[in-house]
Amino acid sequence: MKKLLIYISFVSAITLAGCTKNFDSLNNDPTRASAANFDPNLLLPTAELGYLSAIQGYAGPLLFQSMWIQTFANAEYPSYYSNGDKYVASGNILTYEASTWNNAYSAASNAYEIQNLTKDNDALSNLRGIALIVELMNFQAVTDTYGDCPYSQALQAKNGISLPVYDKQQDIYTSMLSRLDSVLSTLDVSKAKPTNDVIYSGDIAKWKKFGYSLMLRMAMRLTKADAATAQKYAEKAYAGGTFASNDDNAYITYDHADGYSNGNTSALQVPEDFSQVRWGKLLITLLKASADPRLGVIAEVPKQGTSNNLNESLDGDHTLANQVGMPNGYDQNGGSTDISTEPNYPGTSPADPSISGDKAFVVGKYSRPTTAVYVRDLNTPGFIFTYAETELLLAEAAVRGWSVGSSASVHYANGLSAAIQSYGTFNAAGTISSTVADAYAAVATLDVSSTTNSLAQINTQYWITSGTLFDFSEAWSNWRRSGYPVLTPVNYTGNFTGGTIPRREQYPSSEATNNPANLKAAVANLSGGDLRTSKVWWDQ
């Protein structure tokens, strides 16, 4: 069990500033913490958890990316989910939009400080190497979300750099891949394991596999922007050894009793979120059409009426034929965009006659995430990266003719079966046996009739897998990179993209005050400026 034990009282006092001049007291007094008076292992869980804080819940991905890529839908307006479902700004959009930036830089700063505290201690070289891996995965979250960002001068407030330049994304990726390549060879199973590691409990062999899997993910981002570099590092990652089974999956199991909860689960326990957030139309349509065994596990239709739709302790109907996905871009306001006007609207869920005063529920016949799998337990694990995703990326690499061992068909089957079995990590209610998963993968084989068909199928499966494991940031990034599945954008009145799916988040508004000159230079490098429709470098 990967149990979250975070020594936060001291850690919170020494967290470094991410990238602006809003840095805390440690930056002004570099003698406060040192390797002589502080165990750097205590910073590791905070850095690891910080990554999930950057990609979960109201940090943005649940409100934005989950619906930009149409994994989820929400037929309300106005609502804070309008940011995602309709591309219409809510009152707190700037706060939500800054959260991935702030949380990822905070996590990276803790990882960076571990490296500072261990730089002269060879006995802690494994801890130092793991800290760099954690730092890099947080930088990837930032640059994938916003584009150019502080990197080479980031985290340096302690050294007097409080106004860091924004590095070009191409340079960031070049550096990240090189640094990752260099550090993985330093991980040594014969040396001391880190303590307080809430991902792998100090297992160095698994950290090496994670590092190479992260290298693969970074490499595949570059397939359109720099295919040669993508191939080089994808092949290097495979040769180094990526994930070999679901036992290698990177995730953190939360410890709600000590105050640490899954951000997605916490959000979905809010009554409005729980009752209104539904699986998207395309997702359910695809799973239903292919008789995918996941559908009956991840989706349920609530029992009728408003009271039952609000009851988190009440299980829904898992019958495959009854599952219906909700289209994006609708409301419940009675006009031309009312959900009831949608051609395939399944009808209002009638009031439950056994409940006094109950009322009908407008969206009650649409499928929601299975409560027992995703919502009830605040200790629900948060996924960072999975074997299924690595195998699907390797399948694409094989389609492109790169040297990654097995054929695309074999990697695809491995990825599909592993994905189907991954939901048991959430809890027992999500368990699907290897027998069922393997049997399905043996039938739902990769279409190899053309490169286009293969790429579409692989990346659609990646979209399904990452989205239903609630890694919405990754699902969005890979969709932007690959273009699959083909999505129909929403064009709701007053939207902020002119009816196109957002390609990035805007820079935090605080940067205009804290680091204006460097922000201005970064914005000038964006085609179209600091807009949600502008594309980051690898999104070509």
Summarised one tens digit per residue, pLDDT across range 141-154 is: 999 999 999 999 99
Rounded to a whole number, what is the largest CA-CA distance in the chain? Answer: 71
Beta 299-300 vs 368-369: how paired, if at all? antiparallel
The conformation of residue 529, written as its DSSP 8-state character, comes to S
Q: How far, in Å, CA of 172 to CA of 212, rounded?
A: 18
8 A C-beta contact, residue 530 and residue 148: no
Question: Could you tell me the two tokens for 28?
Answer: 């002004």
Q: What is the pLDDT of residue 33?
A: 60
CATH of domain 8-263+380-482: 1.25.40.390
Segment 99-123 mean pLDDT:
97
Model confidence at 35, pLDDT cuts 50, 70, 90, reads low
Would you say residue 431 has pLDDT above 90? yes
DSSP 338-359: BGGGSTT----B---TTSTT--
Q: What is the pLDDT of residue 36?
A: 72
Percent above pLDDT 70 for the chain: 94
Summarised one tens digit per residue, pLDDT across range 434-468 is: 999 999 999 999 999 999 999 999 999 999 999 99
Summarised one tens digit per residue, pLDDT across range 193-242 is: 999 999 999 999 999 999 999 999 999 999 999 999 999 999 999 999 99
Would you say residue 12 has pLDDT above 90? no
Q: Where are the domains of the chain?
A: 8-263+380-482, 270-374
